[in-house]
Chains A and B, each alone.
Chain A
């Protein structure tokens, strides 16, 4: 294998966005017939790297080499024609079309007068499907297939070109165990045909089962490649998290107040089950887990956006029913949502109007919105949160991610909530603003707010939380105090590995 040239080689890939270096001189190579894991926390740069490979982003520096040739790709079709194929986490299939039509979409075989040559189409498709040993045929409607089988259609689509490198992005996220076995067989098959495979996943178990080497990204930088057979979960985790972590642990221990919010046995269908926890005034409780573990859904239930199927919610010891955001706000629950642009802000509105939106009915002078009161609120929270904007008339669209997030936080602080839920507080925010927002969350707790922070980034959860609730597939696996938590135990808990003693 030493003399072989790599199937895919990245050399010094750098990609910057205004204010952020998303990728900083990333280099690694995938050999033919190798399954190469790419790991890193959310925000480490994996998605950006994939978009560069897929021709969606152009790197500012560096080059991509496929086989022997340098590949310059300006769109996804070019990437495919160079032999780089993606199997996405989110499927992109036309459900009403047949399997064959989906696989050859855009390049259907033709007869005279541009008519589709169905015989050839179905024959070619069935030949590919035979190789994959799947239980459906070329004529099946894609919408009738399970998610796992739809994924097989995506893989079949990949096999129609002479693939040099196939990239799997969290392929097992929605698969059952039995379906995973089939997928892994297909991957093994591809490997034996000499295809280079990049396998992106957070699930250690899978990584150690099927990959040959593991490359790790952190903060947009390449942190090294390990031989899977000669490493262990601890070493990989350490590489992913970095060393600075212990220094940034939350050290402040002020007095905690009464229980502001208590949740008992809360369930919501299949999204999460039997969740219980409490949050005291002055406390930050962090919820950590993989995407899909049910954390956001709990927040949405507390904010009245989802009805729980069982369980009770108590505020200050009194049972409450929250059936809409209006109820939640009236009870003093605020939510800084996960999707800032989609859920948190009206981008085409100015800073002030966004900030005062929930209380616009209360800020009245006669029948009109009281301009002066609004500006006073905006000024107060602009100063308090250090929001950098030329003025309140500025469209929120034009602010940086960090300042946008502060507008959303200011919006809720100005309502003086008793419980503040912050979902992914720093997603897509540059490093400098990140620590500002972390400090802000700590300050809020010190001022007596009960705060829930949901995050997929471990350093963040460790940094801001007094207690951490680890979730896995809709269940609370374990709850840690900031003294007892370790990165290892946390990773184990969110990966579904039960510790010897359950706290």
Chain B
């Protein structure tokens, strides 16, 4: 067998690094704690990843279109608080559509700023992260939001229900993944998202309305966030103002882990689902090993850095290069 040179190993790691790292994690966790690979634990990981997963599906569209969305965490807090508040005044039948409309309006604003005004998406959504947080606090008067009659409403079905023994959040996540996977892979809109993110100038030169495409991606992301907020509200029937805080980074980590390029133009819904699961299993494994919950924030950061580095390394075909 031919010996692998240092460069070959570097190239291999650059291409397959995430999967190799993931495999090592799984093996390590299973040895460390036999509970890790049991059906119960697996189901629990998927269920607790569902909210993050739903958000990651929408962000996948944004990232493939060549942009970022850092506002999804605080937008999810907003959706959760709004639907909980309106529930007691309007009832679930009206509260849910009203919350979706308000969340989509936020998505439309971001889409307008990034798509039509061509403002940098990092700045716009970072600003929105803070602005929406302020909006949520203003809306709630800084108080936590609770539903009065927790047992007498069908709102609970989205977060606590089960169908055929499978938790509803998982079903929503998988159904949305299937739907959006088809939208992205099979429809003209999906094709345009790839074209705009792959080479926006060439897309414009091909008669594609770039601004509209980007706008729709942010609407898509907002719709997913609203869905995630609904599941969150339904699961806890009460919430803090900061329930989604920090999730924007986890969502981004999942999307990049799945292999979508931050430069745009590549990635798939399927890969994002894989990314969500990898992140979920690593966090769960670390918990089972007795790592403090708060240490997870550090771990998430390490995973993001690793993923971004490997993304760039895969493009260069080596782990390090003197020029960018």
- What 0/1 pattern do residues 215 to 232 of B give for CB contact below 8 A with A? 000000000000000000
A157 within 8 A of B: no
Q: Is the CB of A325 within 8 A of B202?
A: no
Q: Is the CB of B188 within 8 A of A364?
A: yes
Q: Is the CB of A360 within 8 A of B205?
A: no
Contacts of A303 in B (CB 8 A): 205
Q: Is the CB of B194 within 8 A of A343?
A: no
DSSP class of A's interface residues: helix, strand, loop or mixed?
Answer: mixed
Contacts of A345 in B (CB 8 A): 199, 202
Number of B residues near A (Cβ < 8 Å) is: 21
Taken together as a complex, chains A and B put the C-alpha atoms of A273 and B266 apart, in Å, by: 42
Closest approach, in angstroms, between the C-beta of A373 and any C-beta of chain B? 12
Taken together as a complex, chains A and B put the C-alpha atoms of A342 and B198 apart, in Å, by: 10
- Across the two chains, which residue of chain B brings its CB closest to A371? B186
A335 within 8 A of B: yes
A348-B198, A349-B198 known; A343 vs B205 contact (CB < 8 Å): yes
Taken together as a complex, chains A and B put the C-alpha atoms of A344 and B208 apart, in Å, by: 13
Contacts of A368 in B (CB 8 A): 182, 186-187
A437 within 8 A of B: no
A346-B265, A348-B265 known; A357 vs B198 contact (CB < 8 Å): no
Q: Is the CB of A346 within 8 A of B198?
A: yes
Contacts of B187 in A (CB 8 A): 367-369
B321 within 8 A of A: no
Taken together as a complex, chains A and B put the C-alpha atoms of A305 and B195 apart, in Å, by: 18
Q: Is the CB of B199 within 8 A of A342?
A: yes
Interface residues of A in 282-315 (CB under 8 A from B): 303, 305
B206 within 8 A of A: yes
Residues of B within 8 A of A (CB): 182, 186-188, 191-192, 194-195, 198-199, 201-209, 265-266
8 additional A-B residue pairs with CB within 8 Å, beyond A335-B205, A349-B194, A357-B191: A325-B204, A326-B207, A337-B205, A343-B201, A344-B202, A358-B206, A363-B188, A368-B187
Contacts of B206 in A (CB 8 A): 325, 357-358, 411
Closest approach, in angstroms, between the C-beta of B196 and any C-beta of chain A? 9
- What 0/1 pattern do residues 351 to 378 of A give for CB contact below 8 A with B? 0010001101101100111000000000
Closest approach, in angstroms, between the C-beta of A189 and any C-beta of chain B? 35
Contacts of A363 in B (CB 8 A): 188
- Across the two chains, which residue of chain A brings its CB closest to B261? A348
19 contacts between A and B (CB under 8 A): A325-B205, A325-B206, A325-B207, A326-B207, A329-B207, A344-B202, A344-B205, A345-B202, A346-B198, A346-B203, A348-B266, A349-B194, A353-B191, A357-B191, A357-B195, A358-B207, A360-B192, A368-B182, A369-B191
Contacts of B208 in A (CB 8 A): 357-358
A347 within 8 A of B: yes
* Top-9 shortest CB links A-B: A346-B198, A329-B207, A357-B206, A346-B199, A368-B186, A360-B188, A358-B206, A325-B207, A358-B207
Kindly name the residue among A328, A337, A342, A346 whose own CB sees the greatest number of chain B CB atoms within 10 A. Answer: A346
Interface residues of A in 316-350 (CB under 8 A from B): 325-326, 328-329, 335, 337, 342-349
Taken together as a complex, chains A and B put the C-alpha atoms of A337 and B204 apart, in Å, by: 12
Contacts of B182 in A (CB 8 A): 368
Q: Is the CB of B203 within 8 A of A357?
A: yes
A357-B191, A360-B191 known; A346 vs B207 contact (CB < 8 Å): no
Taken together as a complex, chains A and B put the C-alpha atoms of A342 and B204 apart, in Å, by: 11
Contacts of B203 in A (CB 8 A): 346, 357
Contacts of B192 in A (CB 8 A): 360
Closest approach, in angstroms, between the C-beta of B64 and any C-beta of chain A? 11
Closest approach, in angstroms, between the C-beta of A91 and any C-beta of chain B? 20
Closest approach, in angstroms, between the C-beta of B77 and any C-beta of chain A? 33
Q: Is the CB of B209 within 8 A of A326?
A: yes
Taken together as a complex, chains A and B put the C-alpha atoms of A345 and B207 apart, in Å, by: 12
Contacts of A361 in B (CB 8 A): 188
Closest approach, in angstroms, between the C-beta of A229 and any C-beta of chain B? 45
Closest approach, in angstroms, between the C-beta of A57 and any C-beta of chain B? 15
Kindly name the residue among A325, A347, A358 whose own CB sees the greatest number of chain B CB atoms within 10 A. Answer: A325
Contacts of A343 in B (CB 8 A): 201-202, 205
Taken together as a complex, chains A and B put the C-alpha atoms of A369 and B185 apart, in Å, by: 9
Closest approach, in angstroms, between the C-beta of B301 and any C-beta of chain A? 28
Closest approach, in angstroms, between the C-beta of B269 and any C-beta of chain A? 15
Contacts of B266 in A (CB 8 A): 348
Closest approach, in angstroms, between the C-beta of A470 and any C-beta of chain B? 26
- Across the two chains, which residue of chain A brings its CB closest to B200? A346
